[in-house]
């Protein structure tokens, strides 16, 4: 999986991968997963599940995370365009509550890696988009949670007006509320 370029955030823990896409008169080809290449950029290769979602314009999903088993995500947009987000939710982290947002699309084929101690989400920018993500932990609804998408303490600049939200995302807790829960001890910065 040749990578043309990458950008690292949060001391290299969140990585934006820009794969080399081979195009000709027949179409295109690129490698989505290649263990040795991902590991060069600090992205683990122990994926155990792949998810695929489709959403209409202005849908915001997230900010989601899971602590048991820990679930890191490698996200990509396979149809349309979306704004992918990762937020540091580690107690005592110097970047606690900081976020990164990138526009990924079926055209640029960007992939965003965020470890399990980041809450992740996205907003759909095109009329319709499909997002696929490889995860490092199988889904467990008893050990997952979310942070309010528009928590003012975080201040994500979502590029959508009048977002379409699930009931769960609309009523999610704030980062401050999450940090007061005992489960948040699963996300502690210890450098």
Task: Spell out the domain ranges in the chain.
Answer: 3-183
Closest among 24, 41, 63, 64 to 111, alpha carbons compared: 41
Active site residue 25: no
Is 29 a residue whose pLDDT tops 90?
Answer: no
Q: What is the pTM of this model?
A: 0.93
pLDDT in tens, 97-135: 999 999 999 999 999 999 999 999 999 999 999 999 999
Domain 3-183 homologous superfamily, CATH = Jelly Rolls (2.60.120.10)
Is 19 a residue whose pLDDT tops 90?
Answer: no
pLDDT in tens, 69-86: 999 999 999 999 999 999
Contacts 24+ apart (CB under 8 A), 152-155: 153/97, 154/87, 154/97, 154/99, 155/99
Active site residue 139: no
Catalytic residue, chosen from 9, 110, 117, 133, is: 133
Catalytic residue, chosen from 30, 52, 64, 117, is: 64
């Amino acid at each position: 999986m040749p990578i043309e370029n990458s950008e690292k955030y949060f001391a290299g823990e969140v990585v934006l991968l820009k794969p080399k896409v081979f195009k000709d008169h027949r179409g295109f080809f690129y490698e989505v997963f290649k263990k040795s290449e991902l590991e060069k950029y600090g992205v683990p290769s122990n994926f155990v599940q792949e998810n695929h979602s489709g959403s209409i314009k202005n849908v915001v999903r997230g900010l989601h995370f899971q602590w048991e088993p820990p679930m890191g995500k490698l996200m990509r947009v396979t149809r349309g365009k979306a704004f992918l987000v990762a937020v540091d939710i580690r107690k005592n982290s110097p970047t606690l509550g900081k976020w990164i947002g990138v526009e990924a699309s079926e055209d640029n084929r960007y992939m965003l890696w965020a470890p399990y101690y980041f809450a992740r989400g996205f907003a759909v920018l095109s009329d319709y988009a499909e997002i696929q993500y490889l995860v490092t932990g199988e889904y467990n609804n008893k050990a997952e949670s979310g942070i309010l998408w528009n928590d003012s303490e975080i201040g994500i600049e979502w590029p959508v007006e009048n977002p379409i939200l699930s009931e769960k995302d609309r009523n999610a807790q704030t980062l401050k509320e999450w940090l007061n829960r005992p489960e948040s001890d699963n996300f502690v910065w210890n450098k």
